[in-house]
Amino acid sequence: MKIEGTHLFNAPRATVWALLHDPHTVANCLPGCHQITQPAADQFEGDLTFQAGPMRGNFEGRVRFANIKPPNSFTIEAVATGQTGSLHGHGRIQLHEENSQTTLYYSGEAQVEGRVLDAGFRLLETATRAIIRQCLTNLDQEIATRTQPAPPPPPAQFVLDVAKEFVTEAVPPQRRHSLLTILLAALGTTLAALLLFRRRCASANGLSSE
């Protein structure tokens, strides 16, 4: 069984490279994966559930990285065994960056043995391609989550943070508590006055419209 394809990430190559070598990220992105450990710098071990049509089985696998050329490319050798069969495969991953976007090129070949073949070669190939696509899509979402800027704090929280920073930097430690209490009280009074003013304006507009 031969598999190859490409996927475009909206992220620089260094980001994609780091996530591909993070076992926690790979475990979260790989469909059916239960856990992944990293017993060595160039090796992942884990277990997952693979399903192709009516055929379903649990597999324990090991992936070894070789020919590592950060952050450009690496090769992999994979072995997975379970009650329904086994898999031996090898592949190559290449990353190409352009305009802060990264294209991942993957190619590989696998030999499958055992009862898992009862599902049929075409169904096995379709299921494998679907898993790879879903894994890359999940990795896309993981990148988007990590690179999305944090929302700005609410105005009241921003003012409070500024007040705390001012007290920390400009006021001696023995006077910070009392001054911070005064600032918080002033902030609360100001916000309450603004809220009351808005309500009165809304009431006045309502009466004038009548």
Shared-domain flag, residues 20 and 50: yes
Q: Which position has the higher pLDDT, 103 or 193? A: 103
User: Residue 24's domain is classified under what CATH number?
Assistant: 3.30.530.20
Answer whether 92's CB lies under 8 Å from 3's CB.
no
Q: How confident is the model at residue 116 (pLDDT cuts 50, 70, 90)?
A: confident
Residues 32 and 132 occupy one common structural domain: yes
If asked whether residues 164 and 83 sit together in one domain, one would say: no
Q: Are 186 and 143 in a shared domain?
A: no
Give the range of the structural domain holding residue 205, as residue numbers without chain letter. 155-209
86 and 70 in one domain?
yes
pLDDT tens for 140-163 read 999 988 877 666 656 555 555 655
- Same domain for 143 and 87, yes or no, is yes
Domain check: are 193 and 101 in the same one?
A: no
The pLDDT score that the predictor gives to residue 198 is 67
95, 113, 147 — which closes off a domain?
Answer: 147
Residues 9 and 89 in one domain: yes
Give pLDDT tens digits for 46-91. Answer: 999 988 777 788 999 999 999 999 999 999 999 999 988 898 999 9
Q: Which of 119, 147, 175 is the last residue of a domain?
A: 147
C-alpha distances (whole Å) from 6 to each of 16, 122, 137, 142 are 14, 20, 12, 18
Q: How many domains does the chain have?
A: 2
Cα(55)–Cα(52) distance, integer angstroms: 5
Confidence of residue 172 (pLDDT cuts 50, 70, 90): low
Q: In this structure, are 24 and 113 located in the same domain? A: yes
Cα radius of gyration rounded to whole Å, the chain: 28
Considering the domain architecture, whether residues 54 and 128 belong to the same structural domain is answered as: yes
Check pLDDT > 70 for residue 11.
Answer: yes
Query: What is the per-residue pLDDT for 188?
Result: 62
Average the pLDDT over 102-108 and give the result: 96
Contacts 24+ apart (CB under 8 A), 67-75: 68/42, 70/17, 71/13, 71/14, 71/16, 71/17, 71/95, 72/13
Per-residue pLDDT, 146: 81
Same domain (yes/no): 119, 202: no
Do 105 and 12 fall within a single domain? yes
Average per-residue pLDDT in the chain? 82
Please state the pTM of the whole predicted model. Answer: 0.69
- Please determine, for residue 24, whether its predicted confidence score (pLDDT) is greater than 50: yes
